[in-house]
Amino acid sequence: MHAGLAGTVAGTRHTAPAAAGDAGCEEMARTAAGSAARSSCLTWTEDGAVRSARWRSESGQAPPKRVVVADDTMTADAAWRLACEGTALLWRGDYHNARQLLQAMGRRAAARPRKRAREPAAAAEAFHLHRMAQAQRARALGMLLIPVESATRIPFRRAPDVAEAVAEAIAGTPDADLPAAPFVISLRELLGLIGAHEWRRKGVWVPALEAHIHPWYGVFSPLRGEYLDLVARVPLPSPRLAFDIGTGSGVIAALLARRGVARVVATDQDARALGCARENLDRLGLAGGVELVHADLFPPGRAPLVVCNPPWVPARPGAAIEHAVYDPDSRMLRGFLAGLAAHLEADGEGWLILSDLAEHLGLRTRAELLGWIEAAGLEVAGREDIRPRHRKAADAGDALHAARAAEVTSLWRLAVSPRATSA
Ligand SMILES: C[S@@+](CC[C@H](N)C(=O)[O-])C[C@H]1O[C@@H](n2cnc3c(N)ncnc32)[C@H](O)[C@@H]1O
């Protein structure tokens, strides 16, 4: 850690929670129609005066109630203790030192002894305990706060320019309409925005496409892209038309268009995903053959091929941007299966891409999945499997290692059951 961070809790000015924010911030929060959780006020006392600023949290965290002002003299132990108690640290020091302090807090979080009276009885319990621990860790590490001036400038030495990263993250959200004004954000989230900006700029290489896909902040990234090998190799039922349900970055729509499908209609519920898909398809020169539609699941009509890669873990998302991975009660999966027959042409195929991780975690059974398929009047015409290639699958130290090591992703080829058509 930087030498300047050693020492005592000096530089910390403890404050009582302030009574009210300043009118500007309150006004700002009111004008952010529909985004109350994102654009509320953070209030603190500094140099004897009550201050407030707009609070930004893309993950939907409420503004911390207790805030102290902290600088380069704060030790990592003191910072970690305060953060664990729920006291936020509003940084007034060197930007680089703030990053180092966050890293040092992260090491303390990783080393924290797990208080377990007993080992979890089942995989599902282990998964829920793991998520609870992750949420606690995220809450504590989210307590180191950074002020951003004029929506883009961090007023500290060695601070990066965050203008583009912030603008990209809020584009298309209600906050994009807010006048440029100072705000406070957790350093952890800010680093997330900066990381997302870098991914968007560099892109993710998709071997099946032989091209880069550029994911936007909050949009599902095809980083673990083995499922795309399945989409690339399974024979197409027809080259005429396909639906891509929940298109995200547009990667499956692009792959289908590249494979020669003349027209693809791709849907998503998330405006950011549709913007991201548009940009990727334009970049790849494939936009002419793909129509993007804002829809809950299906577009109107029927197609000979309907593809869907729904979120695969039936659990509540911990943050707004986790909706592409966590889907409470398998809503999208069950909605896709229930509506598929009504959107397939005669002899058409539905391609469901699904990891069985949830089965290994005890969150869904194979019998449940097969039951939903049958109840929807569908039958399994075939299945192609692939094993994950990502590093976590081989990490024996990972809390969910047993489930991850056993994980298989499948492309289920579904057809309307003859029993359903004759009934
Ligand atoms: C796991 S991601 C898959 C994205 C992309 N198809 C891919 O394979 O990389 C799931 C996507 O479904 C979208 N989604 C979730 N519920 C939806 C719904 N009811 N209707 C349309 N899209 C939905 C999410 O916004 C997300 O982009």
Are 162 and 214 found together in one domain? no
Calculate the average pLDDT of the chain: 85
Q: Are residues 183 and 330 in the same domain?
A: no
Q: Give the range among 50-64, 195-209, 272-286, 366-380 with minimum mean pLDDT.
A: 50-64
270 CA from centroid of ligand 1 (Å): 8
Among protein residues, the one whose CA lies closest to atom 4 of ligand 1: 248
The answer to whether 353 touches 231, Cβ cutoff 8 Å, is: yes
Judgement on whether residues 61 and 122 belong to the same structural domain of the protein: yes
Mean pLDDT, rounded, for 40-53: 92
Range of the domain at 47: 3-198
- Ligand 1 pocket, 246 CB below 6 A? yes
Average pLDDT over every residue of 106-122: 69
Q: Is the pLDDT of residue 12 over 90?
A: no
> Of all protein residues, whose CA lies closest to atom 6 belonging to ligand 1?
247
Nearest ligand 1 atom to alpha carbon 253: 6
Identify the sign of the CA torsion 54, 57, 63, 69: negative
Mutate to test the pocket of ligand 1, among 204, 212, 216, 220 (most ligand atoms within 8 A of CB): 220
pTM: 0.84
Is ligand 1 within 6 A of the CB of residue 365?
Answer: no
User: Which of the listed residues 198, 229, 249 is the one where a domain comes to its end?
Assistant: 198
Task: Decide which of 6 and 85 is more confident.
Answer: 85
Q: How far is the CA of 401 from the centre of ligand 1 (A)?
A: 26
Q: Is the CB of 330 under 6 A from ligand 1?
A: no
| The pLDDT of residue 307 | 98
Task: Summarize pLDDT for 231-263 with one digit per residue, the tens.
Answer: 999 999 999 999 999 999 999 999 999 999 999
Q: Are residues 141 and 231 in the same domain?
A: no
Pair 192, 55 in one domain: yes
The verdict on 191 and 336 lying in the same domain is no
Comparing 54 with 286, which gets the higher pLDDT?
Answer: 286
Q: Whose CA is nearest to atom 16 of ligand 1?
A: 332
CA of 312 to the centre of ligand 1 (A): 10
Task: Identify the pLDDT of residue 119.
Answer: 58
